[in-house]
Copies of this chain bind each other. A is one copy, B any other.
């Protein structure tokens, strides 16, 4: 036993605002991701913290603002990861594949973030809308995609009429679905999309898909369109 009965005053400071705040955010992230916004319990978050519920209201104001703060930090993490992306030395095909792989990995490594995004969508992204911080975050990944696309299109490797935001949506779709819908998909089709043994397979599949789309010759006639002649 390090100390008798009093709370263990481990690292000198017993009053550390930044530390308390960060710990609340950590626990709240897990709790919101676990149970959803309405399913999460403020008392439960407090209980798993070394501080009390009072502090949650002291630092964040309320449950709603706490959730917004959780979202802001979660999006901040992905933003930082995207900023570290460096694919300028690669040729367009390899660069896109690398980008897809990084996106794939990031989604897999942050299932809580995926859940928070799902939850926020159930609430019509009203917390993002209310947050000034999140309004002007702007994905760095988009700039990367734009640069790669331009290079690929100028060299004639890529189809010309592909938009960066659309491509980002396409890559994210696959990565997001795999993690977000893991449970229903597994229950209905008997296949775990996040099975470690299948990881390399799905990672390659995503890259193949994106490259195939970008390098394919677009056929002019499409089923569903009327003007065939």
Contacts and interface: CB of A to CB of B under 8 A. Distances in A.
B187 A36 contact: no
Contacts of A120: 183-184
A119 B122 contact: yes
Q: So how many copies of this chain end up in the complex?
A: 2
Interface string A76-109: 0000000000000010001001100100000000
Contact of A212 (B119, B134, B213, B224): B213
A62 interface: no
Interface string A159-172: 00000011011101
A188 B39 contact: no
Nearest to A34: B122
A208 B218 contact: yes
Nearest to A124: B183
Nearest to A167: B205
Interface in A162-204: 165-166, 168-170, 172-174, 176-178, 180-189, 191, 193, 202-204
A98 B225 CA distance: 12
Nearest to A203: B224
Contacts of A193: 169
Interface in A102-118: 115, 117-118
